[in-house]
Structure 1
Amino acid sequence: MFYPTHSVSMVVSVTGAHVTNFCGMGFVDQHEDNLYTCEDNVWKNPFSNETMLCRMSDGSTVRFNEFRRIGHPGTVGMRLYGTEASYEEQVGSQMWVTKDRSTCVDLSKELACEGIPSIQFDDPMAKVTGADGTHVGVSRVHPVHRLPKEFVGLPNGHHGSHQFLVHDFVTAYIHRQLPPNNVWQAARYIIPGLLAHGSALQGGQLMEVPDFGDFPK
């Protein structure tokens, strides 16, 4: 749970709620390579897979899994269940679902980070070439109009987030403002996982999370 930012940040960013209480549980790894044997790793970590069960500030409950040894190709995924609708993400599939099965929407194409042209054509059949320039690693829903033209064609990563993080940081510095991802948000992303590992080492003890508040307006 020392690397929970990818999972915790998704829920905190979407709902605006943060973790208030939690307990952690871990699977004691027994693989023959002894990679997670306490005596053989610098972190003295016996767990290959850990789970954190949380109560959030809005009253909801969340389960975060950080698994490092399972029969899976690896992914960062999220399932968010609301009262009227939900979002489900798995390997190669992203769905918006409601109580009515006929209204479910497959978002896989909209969220596929395959890059989009920097020049929008009137002709939907127009072919994008290398000379036209492409915003690399972004999806159709990314607001690429926010990005400077100098980013066109540059490497990107983490589902298109890298260039937006850089742009937000530089823009905040120039205008003397806080970026959306700031140290207060970062604390809410990382602290629960750091403490949950300690809870797991104590057999799943329920604990409180210290909160450093919202960022200054």
Structure 2
Amino acid sequence: MDPTTTPASPTIPMKISDGLTRRDFVSRSAVAAAGGLLAIPGWVGAQAPTKKIRVGIVGGRFGLSFQFHEHPDCIVEAVSDLIPDRRAALQKTYKCEKAYDSLEELVKDPKVEAVALFTPVPDHVRHTLLCLAAGKHVLCAVPVAMTLDECQQLTDAVKKTGLTYMMAETSHWQQLTISARKFHQEGAFGNLYYTESEYHHPGLEELYFNKDGSRTWRHGIAPMQYPTHCTSHLISVTGERLTEVTCHGWGDDHPILKDNIYKNPFWNETAMFKTNRGNSMRVAIWWRGAQTGGERARFYGDKMSFYYNGPNGAPACTVRTQAKTEKDSGGFVRSAQVMEKYDEVHWWKTDMLPEPMRHNSGHEGSHCFITHEFIDALVKQRKPAVDLYEAIAYTAPGIVAHQSALKGGESMKIPQFDPT
């Protein structure tokens, strides 16, 4: 079986009967399918695990926004950050008495079974390898790596250790992405031939400098080095892989683009990808300009299309083809289309999560799902939805896309790391 042509996780077919109410649909489907791909089993009726997972949390900024202390199968054993104030904030948030000055000290703790890494991007691979070498499972913030060589290093390490790696990709668990997975699973799209995703985030420059004026890891990083919020929109829905890309970048004479450790000349990068199924995906990661921010996607099928909330404030909606016809402004006959507002389902209110975690959370409700998926995968000794190969499938296309942009939009092949 070729893993590049199959979904990352098993799927469960599910039909919606004509008489099924919206309330019935939500309550039944939450247990039957974790947004379409069975990544999180229904919580109701689940047997209590024989043990709790003891986690160490590293990184006192982004790391403050997760729910390990609320999960019934988890104990926050220790926390760590190099900065004392952030270390104290972690202790307060997770009600944890044990704190270490560094990750290097934390991984020596024999009680810590798994580490949640929310550290700077350039440190992700080094820190992950350190945890794996110490026998710890890893949840890591995005992206998985910054180079293709680093992707291979992690692949080798995970194979060697047999430990669990999961990437904390938020777009995978956006409420609308869970709905998109369900639409795809049910065949609602028909042939899903084109997807586009945007990560528009003007104003990031304030994160490029520390309070003392020194540069942070974000200073000048290329947009396509941070692609996973977009690429996951398609890959997590269909299981496709991105195989070819041409990308163009835009920059100006700003000092940040003239002097950064990444030698990156672009604020914005726009890529067109081809998938292993012959479909297309456009990814636009723009960090400067007159634009509204957001992480959003649009899925185009021959039976139905699905648009997330638009940049102009338009609500999420579906577009469906009809058997009847209409005439367009030029007088030509075409299939009639019906556009309907889509009332977003709050999947975090359902049995997809343990009861203490059924509340909204960061990045459009995704943080509780990320927390639960990691812990539940360890408890049940199963593969997490965003395992290493899925994480690389989200990340590697952006690495190659940036190289394409540096070469003026040259078409380039994207290597695949999935096991054969």
Report the secondary structure of 1:22's partner residue: strand
1:43 pairs with 2:249: no
Write the distance in 2 (CA, Å) between the matches of 1:14 and 1:151. Answer: 24
2:346 aligned residue: 140
CA deviations 1:11-50 (Å, max 9, x no partner) are 11112211011112111323xx43322xx22221101110
RMSD of aligned residue pairs (Cα, Å): 2.0
Kept in 1, the 8 Å contact 2:349–2:358? The answer is: no
Q: Which amino acid aligns with 1:27?
A: W
Query: Where does the alignment leave 5 or more consecutive residues of structure 1 unmatched?
Result: 112-138
2:231 aligned residue: 8
CA deviations 1:85-109 (Å, max 9, x no partner) are 11122133211112346632211xx
Structure 1 position 169, deviation (Å)? 0.8
1:98 aligned residue: 320
CA deviations 1:79-133 (Å, max 9, x no partner) are 11111111122133211112346632211xx32xxxxxxxxxxxxxxxxxxxxxx
Q: Which amino acid aligns with 1:168?
A: E
How do 1:1-217 and structure 2 match up within 5 A?
A: 1-30=224-253, 33-37=254-258, 40-89=259-308, 90-91=310-311, 92=313, 93-100=315-322, 103-107=338-342, 110-111=343-344, 139-142=345-348, 144-152=350-358, 156-213=361-418
Q: Which amino acid aligns with 1:204?
A: G
Write the distance in 2 (CA, Å) between the matches of 1:209 and 1:99. Answer: 34
State the structure with bigger RCO (CA 8 A, min sep 6), 1 or 2.
Answer: 1
Write the distance in 1 (CA, Å) between the matches of 2:368 and 2:285. Answer: 26
Report the secondary structure of 2:317's partner residue: strand
Report the secondary structure of 2:274's partner residue: strand
Structure 1 position 200, deviation (Å)? 0.7
Q: Which amino acid aligns with 2:288?
A: R
Q: Which amino acid aligns with 2:292?
A: P
Larger Rg: 2
Cα–Cα, structure 1 residues 52 and 102, in superposed 2: closer, same or farther, change >3 Å?
closer
Q: Which amino acid aligns with 1:163?
A: C
CA deviations 1:182-209 (Å, max 9, x no partner) are 1111111000001111111111111111
Q: Which amino acid aligns with 2:227?
A: P
Structure 1 position 61, deviation (Å)? 1.0
Structure 1 position 210, deviation (Å)? 1.0
Write the distance in 2 (CA, Å) between the matches of 1:185 and 1:203. Answer: 28
Cα–Cα, structure 1 residues 207 and 71, in superposed 2: closer, same or farther, change >3 Å?
same
Query: Where does the alignment leave 5 or more consecutive residues of structure 2 unmatched?
Result: 1-223, 323-335
Write the distance in 2 (CA, Å) between the matches of 1:104 and 1:34. Answer: 45
Cα–Cα, structure 1 residues 102 and 16, in superposed 2: closer, same or farther, change >3 Å?
same
- Structure having the larger proportion of residues in helix: 2
TM-score normalised per structure 2: 0.41
TM-score normalised per structure 1: 0.76
1:115 aligned residue: none
Q: Percent identity?
A: 32
Write the distance in 1 (CA, Å) between the matches of 2:347 and 2:355. Answer: 18
Structure 1 position 151, deviation (Å)? 2.1
Write the distance in 2 (CA, Å) between the matches of 1:3 and 1:103. Answer: 36
Report the secondary structure of 1:99's partner residue: strand
